[in-house]
Every structure is written in C-alpha cells, then in structure tokens.
Chains A and B, each alone.
Chain A
C-alpha cells in the first residue's frame, strides 16, 4: 500500500513539470509582442513600448530563461515588485475580459464549483439506482429500457441535449431560464446587503437567510445539472448493472437466498456493497470529469463559470487567457486524480498489489 502511494506520488512532479512544459510550449506559438500580456496589464501604447517590454521581460531570450521567467516571474529592479510568474498566481492579462486571468478565474470558478457540487449527488445516486434496478430485473422491461437509455444517452451530444432542454423548458414552458440569477436578485447579491461568506452562491444565499435567492439559483442550475447528469447516468448504469449481475451470480448470494433472507436484504445488504467496487472508481473519475466537462454545458446555458469563460476566450483567440485556464485546470486535475487513485487503492486491494 505504502509502496503504491509512494510510486503514485512520485508521478506528481513529473506531471506538474510536463503540464507546465506543455502549456509553455503552446505559448511559444505566439509572437513575442503577444506574449507581453503575460507580464503587463492592458495594451501597450506604441511599438517602442512593446519592444521595451520584450527587452525587459526577456521575451526573445533562449527558451530555458523564458521558461524560468514564466514560472517565477522577474523582479523589477526599481520598485522591487515581482512581475509575472505563474507560481505566484500571475497568469497574465486577459485582453478579452480586461482583467488579470487569475482574477477572472477567481470570479468564475466558484460558480463552476457550485454547479458541480450540486450535480454530483444526482449523478451518482440516480446512476447507481438505475443500474441496480436494471440488474435486479435482468432482461425485464426496466432492463430493456435502461439499455436503450444507456445507448441513446451516450449518443446524444450535450449541446444538442442542452438546446433541446432550453427549447422545451425555457422557450416553451418558461420554467427554467438560462444564466445564473434573475436580474432582481443579481442586484441584491452584488450589493452590500448580501455577504459573500464562501463565494458559493447557493450556500451564501442560505447563510444570508435568503431562501428566495437560493431557490432562484437552483432554478437556473436545474437544466445544467440535468445536462451534466444524463451522460454520466448512462455510464453509471452500464457499470453498476454489469457489476451487479456478476455479483448476483456469486455463491454467497445463493446461500443468502437459501437461508431464507428476504430478496430486499439479499440485494441491498449482501450483493450491492460488493458490486460497488468498480462504481466507486467511476464515481471518482466522474467527479473529476465533471469539472472538465462543463465547457459545453456552461456555454449552452450561458452560465458564468470557468468552462464558458474558457470557451469564450478561445472563440476570440485570446490565447494567454485560454492557456491560463488550461494551466489552472491541469493543476486541479493532477491533485484530483491523485486523490482518486489513492482512494481506489484503499478500496480495491487488487490495484495496490499489481
């Protein structure tokens, strides 16, 4: 076990180094004058100024010096201030949104986190429930329906599904609008009456005692959550069903039935816990995947998270901003994957022994 964890931990610096090199490499596709945005705020006024900045930040120096500057930044000899340096959280200046990339991420990320946290519950619980039902009624009507759903579900692109949901529940029924909050509440949230304790809107709304804002936020998140969920349901359904069918054929299940346990106990107390092994891993990866999978969902529903911000920036070819998002995403995912892998080894002894 310790052995496995150590081996897995050793991979982390490799991944960190690799991802920074990858992103730095992509930055090299830009001309030096475009890369000035990594260090200064706003647009330089003249060509002479641009050239001065290129000199100052060594943007035409050898690659390894640039890489070092990009990582830790440069210290201004006059003011003694550090400029640039992703390790200090300076991801550069976002031209398309006229603010530092780090600030843009800090504003948008809580919304994405809010959305994913709300999506995790429905995704996992409903997915597992569907899978168990399908396995218990093997080859029955529920099973057939579940199989059709799982194939059709995986074939339905999120943006088509999202647009369809908007057509039905927004354009036709006016139930669930896109966006983050209704205008009236948006004004309150941005005023002094509303304290941002955690920056997660739904939780803040509860802490401020504003049930109406909480419900309005949920109303806006309902369709994005549904869209994020249905594809994961299809996968969960398959894995849970397969694993459950396998377990139900085991001899100890026969024993449990033979000694006269009610079917409900056989399924929920004996079979289900053992069938959950592969599902636990899947759950881990799904939670991690949700964070990356929000790009399209957020864009379709006009939801102000990091996914839609990344999509907007790349549609406008604002490379410095896009790569800032990629870097942030990469760092989060390296940590998240590490946690999932270790948890997996804790749950399943076969992994740590191989």
Chain B
C-alpha cells in the first residue's frame, strides 16, 4: 500500500491535505490503518456486524448477572433432575435451582426461576448453556486466534526473511499440513490428545492452533517479501542494523496490520469449528457450557424435533448470529483492504 505524499511542486494539494483535520487516533495509527478502522463503520452491513459483536461481548461480560451460576464451576450447565425427556420453555425449576438473578422479579413479576429456553435431554438448562457458552466462544476464539497469528507471523517472517533453504523447508511443512482438510485434521489431533490431557476445552483448542497458523504464515510471508524490497530496509542494512532488529522493528510492523485485522475476524470461523467438534462429541465433557454441546443434545431427538424445536433453535440462532457478526465485519474490511474488490463482493 503506497501513500501519496504532497510535494513542493503541488502546493495546492499540499495545502488541501494540510488543512484537513487529522484526529489524534489517525495520527497514532497512520492514514492507512485509520482508513481500515473507518471501514468498520461505513456500510449498514458493517455497522450491523459491529452491533452484533458488541452485543455478544456484553452478554459474555454480564453472564454472571444474566445466569447466576449454581456451584463453583459456572461452565457446567446446571441440571434439573436426570430425566431424558426435554422440558418446554418456561417450565419451573424443580430441584437444585441456581440463585435467582435480581432483575428476574422486576422484569417478569414471578418468584420462581424457570427454564427460559427449556431443558435438553438429561435436564440440562439450555439458557445457561447459551449464556455461558458465549464466554466459552470468546475464550476459545481469542486464545486460538491470538496463538495462530503469533505462530503464523513468526514462521512466515522467518521463512520470508531468510529465504532459500529455510523458506523451502518451512513452506513444504505448511504444504504437508495443508493436505488434510481443516476439520479432519483438527478432529484427529483432538482425538489423539484427549486421552493424554483429559476432556476439556484444551485438546480442541490445541488442535485448532496446530493447524490454524498455516494460512497466516503464507499471507505474512507474501507481505514481508514485498516490504523487504523497499528502500528503507536496504538503508537499514547498509548502516549495519542486525538481522533480527530489521525483521522485528522494521519489516514486521510495516507488513502486519492488515493481517492482524483480518485475523481477529477469524474468531467467527474458530468458534464455528470449535462448536462443530463439540457437536461431534469431541473435546469438552457432556454438559459443558458450549453451543455445539447443547446442539448435540438434539441428536437423539431427531424424530421429535417438531416438539423439541427449542433445543436447536436457541443455540442455533446464537451461533449463526455470532458468526454472521464477524463475517459482516470481515467483508467490510476486505473491501477496505483490497480496493479492487470494492462493490464486487
């Protein structure tokens, strides 16, 4: 991305640029990056995406208020008995009800805590699964995206900067890891890791990280290869700046911002894969607050889904809206980052 700077022989343009008010944020981020941020609030679709994501962040933050946890571990969905048959929405809690949230009486005027979204098989409360599942989604999404970007940037940077045999070996490793389709690869690694480290969110997260950095490594590598050609890198080399300093202080900061922004939007995809694996029964234990887990409860009731529609409706809608939010935002950003695509996609 090149920026046109006004020169002395174009005084009019220079004046126009100088007269435009530059905010503190723009000065801090630089014009290119500022434009990317602006893209988040330009089109109705992007605004809708932002609103959705902010909504989910609020739900995740307010989880203890919206659904007060019963025991020590809030991520275990509270159960109301052990019967197989799901109960419809609005049924009252019979046994071991979690504490009543303070707003409940004010809003509904009722004294008893009810199953707002009904219960799934085994009397797991769907509402708790959805609310606390939001936290699980953010936790898994943020951890996986952060780690994959970090690994991807390091591998991509080393590969691009040193080139030659190092580049060749690293990129062949990427090729090999790319052979298996993402979900299959994650599935098998999670199946291998689960007996070793036990059932939790960890095996799936580690597997998503292990196969998730490949794309970022390729993108960063290409970006760095183009930055590497610029004059200021040559200048740094001429005055004898060490390799590592050139790489980490000069090249990466100039190549990374677009990748970072796009990567952060990868949270939607990560959460989707995480939920998919949970749905298949891999990773977390039965009853862990996770959207895929709650959806999996519907698998044994397929013949009577017309009666028990709420088992798939609530976690399903939540998951779709969550991913939709990130996709809307990602689309808007891709338009900003690649002007050739503007208005086409």
Q: Which residue numbers of A lie inside 8 Å of B, CB to CB?
A: 11, 14-15, 18-19, 21-22, 26, 29-30, 151-152, 154-160, 163-164, 166-167, 170-172, 178, 238, 241-242, 245-246, 289, 291-293, 295-296, 299-300, 302, 310-311, 313-315, 317-319, 322-323, 325-326, 329-330, 333-334, 337
B139-147, B168-176, B228-236, B254-262 - the one binding chain A: B168-176
* A292 B282 Cβ-Cβ under 8 A: no
State the CA gap A235–B45 with chains docked (Å). 18
Q: Which residues of the partner chain A approach B302 to less than 8 Å between Cβ atoms?
A: 163, 166, 170-171, 178, 302
Q: Which residues of the partner chain B approach A15 to less than 8 Å between Cβ atoms?
A: 175-176, 179
B327 is contacted by which of A14, A151, A325, A330 (Cβ under 8 Å)? A151
State the CA gap A167–B268 with chains docked (Å). 25
B188 is contacted by which of A155, A293, A314 (Cβ under 8 Å)? A314
State the CA gap A183–B281 with chains docked (Å). 27
State the CA gap A241–B341 with chains docked (Å). 12
* A14 B172 Cβ-Cβ under 8 A: yes
* A14 B175 Cβ-Cβ under 8 A: yes
* A26 B192 Cβ-Cβ under 8 A: yes
B280 is contacted by which of A21, A172, A289, A311 (Cβ under 8 Å)? A311
Q: Which residues of the partner chain A approach B179 to less than 8 Å between Cβ atoms?
A: 15, 18-19, 330, 333-334, 337
* A155 B323 Cβ-Cβ under 8 A: yes
* A26 B184 Cβ-Cβ under 8 A: no
Q: Which residues of the partner chain B approach A330 to less than 8 Å between Cβ atoms?
A: 179-180
Given contacts A163-B305, A167-B306, 16 further A-B contacts (CB under 8 A): A15-B175, A18-B175, A19-B180, A158-B276, A159-B275, A159-B276, A160-B320, A163-B295, A164-B312, A164-B316, A296-B183, A302-B302, A311-B187, A314-B188, A329-B180, A329-B184
Task: Give A11's nearest chain B residue, CB to CB.
Answer: B175
On chain B, the number of residues with a Cβ less than 8 Å from chain A's Cβ atoms is 53
Known contacts A314-B190, A319-B192; is A167 also within 8 Å of B180 by CB? Answer: no
B176 is contacted by which of A22, A156, A242 (Cβ under 8 Å)? A22
Q: Chain B 306-317 against A: per-residue CB contact (8 Å), 1 yes, 0 no?
A: 110100100010
Most buried by B among A167, A246, A329: A167
Known contacts A157-B319, A157-B323, A160-B316; is A151 also within 8 Å of B309 by CB? Answer: no
Task: List 29 A-B pairs, Cβ < 8 Å.
Answer: A14-B176, A18-B172, A18-B173, A18-B179, A29-B192, A29-B196, A30-B192, A151-B331, A155-B320, A155-B327, A157-B272, A160-B319, A160-B320, A163-B298, A167-B312, A170-B302, A171-B303, A289-B181, A291-B181, A293-B183, A295-B187, A296-B276, A296-B280, A311-B282, A313-B191, A314-B282, A315-B191, A322-B187, A337-B179
Considering the complex, which residues of chain B in the window 148-186 have a beta carbon less than 8 Å from any beta carbon of chain A? 172-173, 175-177, 179-181, 183-185
* A151 B279 Cβ-Cβ under 8 A: no
Q: Kindly state whether residue B1 has any CB partner on chain A within 8 Å.
A: no
* A326 B184 Cβ-Cβ under 8 A: yes
**How near does chain A come to B333, taking the closest CB pair, in angstroms?**
14
* A317 B323 Cβ-Cβ under 8 A: no
Q: Chain B 67-99 against A: per-residue CB contact (8 Å), 1 yes, 0 no?
A: 000000000000000000000000000000000
B193 is contacted by which of A11, A29, A154 (Cβ under 8 Å)? A29
State the CA gap A160–B195 with chains docked (Å). 28
* B188 A322 Cβ-Cβ under 8 A: yes
* B295 A310 Cβ-Cβ under 8 A: no
Q: Which residue numbers of B lie inside 8 Å of A, CB to CB?
A: 45, 172-173, 175-177, 179-181, 183-185, 187-196, 268, 272, 275-276, 279-282, 292, 295, 298-299, 302-307, 309, 312, 316, 319-320, 323-324, 327-328, 331, 341, 344-345
**How near does chain B come to A306, taking the closest CB pair, in angstroms?**
10
**How near does chain B come to A177, taking the closest CB pair, in angstroms?**
9
* A333 B177 Cβ-Cβ under 8 A: no
**How near does chain B come to A143, taking the closest CB pair, in angstroms?**
11
A296 is contacted by which of B45, B279, B320, B323 (Cβ under 8 Å)? B279
* B328 A151 Cβ-Cβ under 8 A: yes
Q: Which residues of the partner chain A approach B306 to less than 8 Å between Cβ atoms?
A: 167, 171-172
* B305 A166 Cβ-Cβ under 8 A: yes
Q: Which residues of the partner chain A approach B195 to less than 8 Å between Cβ atoms?
A: 317, 319
State the CA gap A293–B276 with chains docked (Å). 12
State the CA gap A154–B331 with chains docked (Å). 11
Q: Which residues of the partner chain B approach A300 to less than 8 Å between Cβ atoms?
A: 299
* B303 A170 Cβ-Cβ under 8 A: yes
State the CA gap A291–B181 with chains docked (Å). 9
State the CA gap A292–B335 with chains docked (Å). 30
Q: Which residues of the partner chain B approach A170 to less than 8 Å between Cβ atoms?
A: 302-303, 305
State the CA gap A334–B187 with chains docked (Å). 19
Task: Give A239's nearest chain B residue, CB to CB.
Answer: B345
* A310 B194 Cβ-Cβ under 8 A: no
* B187 A151 Cβ-Cβ under 8 A: no
